[in-house]
Structure 1
């Protein structure tokens, strides 16, 4: 079983919210990086190869380690031509900038340097998009996203980030049914391959809009009571996404093996809770396993573990 994140004790019976998900090699490499053993991260990224979704996930998780910049710099001293070391340094500097420990300009420069060392890798541009969400303009976010898509059109994390960024555009005091985030999500889902997890992006867009509206006081902070999940649009996107999951699940032996699959099943599970369909939510949670991802859009100012435990108790008799 995956150990809990360092410094975050787990209470008995509570779901774990580890950004590494069930990626055991990533957990081991992250723990080694905490101790200064960057060779484990080197080996992990070499094994990841050009699985760009998994590479992006692994580098962002490793980059969040508070000592990642120092160890990436040591790695670069040993291997100055390592594109993986440059990418880890870029990701680590981005997260330092987000914590106010480094200048955004320094993080931006390191992302561009990493991109020059690995022209085919979308991960440095993903890091730039993460940075631009908090320290950039709309044009900078769009440029970073376009660079990711040019290298990997189906990039999962980048599409989620853009949905979140667009959802935060609020022009008046209501929810616009023609909001640009809905158009973006529908376009991306239509452009994606038939088996792509981006089929769930319209659910993500609907969820991100709820997050923005609830935090602005324009929607009830109780997701079920808000009515946001009872609209015609919500019913349509949920039906399409759940139909995709049922069709995909029939052909998949490892339903939760990939980080993007886990994240999207998590979105579907939360949305099913808000629809008032706990049985379907619990079935999805069962497919994900014990390491459910945190969905901050779902419960503004509330602990999401309460709803997850309630669903498990109701349907599975656990938690």
Structure 2
């Protein structure tokens, strides 16, 4: 595995080969493989993950619109329409596009319609949580509800509760909630730390939410760019090592790694590598197989937008761990 010449592969589908085939068809403008895949998907975890990946690919195309035109009664197509609408609104907001408000309203309406047509589906509520991050000032009443525990801030707790009612500990729902916390509090990350710790400690063994604190730690470093010498000390601190070990012991050792998020696996490998837990990190690198994600490795480089630098850092960390 650590042999020279190894080159990692980035693909949003990761180990999910059926999803990979649907993505390939989607990129050529065809929707039939996507429809078939979603019809065969069981379990809300796989449904949430697959619809998210497909929407990210479909957002720049008219494929989902064509699907709805061909099959206007398809509930899956309606849910995917809401997914694509949310993805477009989030991208427009990130880019400061003039149509952001219009796209936001369209996405909000699409999510509400999908929630009515698919009342058991958590995805429309996950979409509404994603849109909440566009409302950093919490102008909408549904984005400033009282929190369920002390040390947590007001937010879209009702939306999270609706997603959790349908799929307890839904990974994407909590990551969307974390994005809202970032948008609400652009300064110190104390609110994000409190939220991630609350979500992780509330989650059962095997839940991907045990990796959530690792994301906050990466975000803290990202906001402190320029302090390169402090990077490794950042990951060997007692609380950092504890978060990495907890994610390993309560999530990774119990999850089906072929179904796990590539981002989660990369964040865990990165945290264990930074904590000098090379043997444990090696287990995660092996679970990744040929796949990787540019984040969080890119933040260890001088130019986070340079994918080649991120890949180089990943390869060096992987080789260090796999060679003992």
TM-score bracket, shorter-length normalisation? 0.7 to 0.9
Instruction: Pick one of 44, 51, 62 that aligns with 2:54.
Output: 62
- The aligned residue for residue 117 of structure 1 is 117
Kindly report which structure 2 residues correspond to 1:202-221, keeping only aligned pairs within 5 A, or say none: 202-211=213-222, 213-215=223-225, 220-221=227-228
The separation in 2 between residues aligned to 1:297 and 1:166, in whole angstroms, is 23
1:167-225, Cα deviation, whole Å (9 max, x unpaired):
455575xx56xx122222222223222232222223233333333x325x6xx256734
List gaps (5 residues or longer) in structure 2: 144-154
Please tell me whether the aligned partners of residues 90 and 114 of structure 1 are also in contact (alpha carbons under 8 angstroms): yes
Query: What CA RMSD, in Å, does the superposition of the two structures yield over aligned residues?
Result: 2.8
Q: Does 1:242 pair with 2:234?
A: no
List gaps (5 residues or longer) in structure 1: 1-11
- The aligned residue for residue 260 of structure 2 is 259
* Displacement of 1:133: 2.3
Between the two proteins, the alignment pairs up a number of residues equal to: 290
Does the residue aligned with 2:299 lie in a helix, a strand or coil? Answer: coil
Kindly report which structure 2 residues correspond to 1:101-250, keeping only aligned pairs within 5 A, or say none: 103-134=103-134, 137-138=137-138, 140=143, 142=156, 143-167=158-182, 170=185, 179-211=190-222, 213-215=223-225, 220-221=227-228, 224-225=231-232, 227-245=233-251, 247-248=253-254
Please tell me whether the aligned partners of residues 115 and 121 of structure 1 are also in contact (alpha carbons under 8 angstroms): yes
* Displacement of 1:237: 1.7
Please tell me whether the aligned partners of residues 223 and 274 of structure 1 are also in contact (alpha carbons under 8 angstroms): no
* Displacement of 1:97: 2.4
| TM-score (ref. length: structure 2) | 0.78
Instruction: Return 29-38 or 137-146, whichever deviates more.
Output: 137-146
Kindly report which structure 2 residues correspond to 1:27-38, keeping only aligned pairs within 5 A, or say none: 27-38=20-31
Q: Which runs of 4+ in 1 moved over 4 A?
A: 66-69, 135-139, 167-172
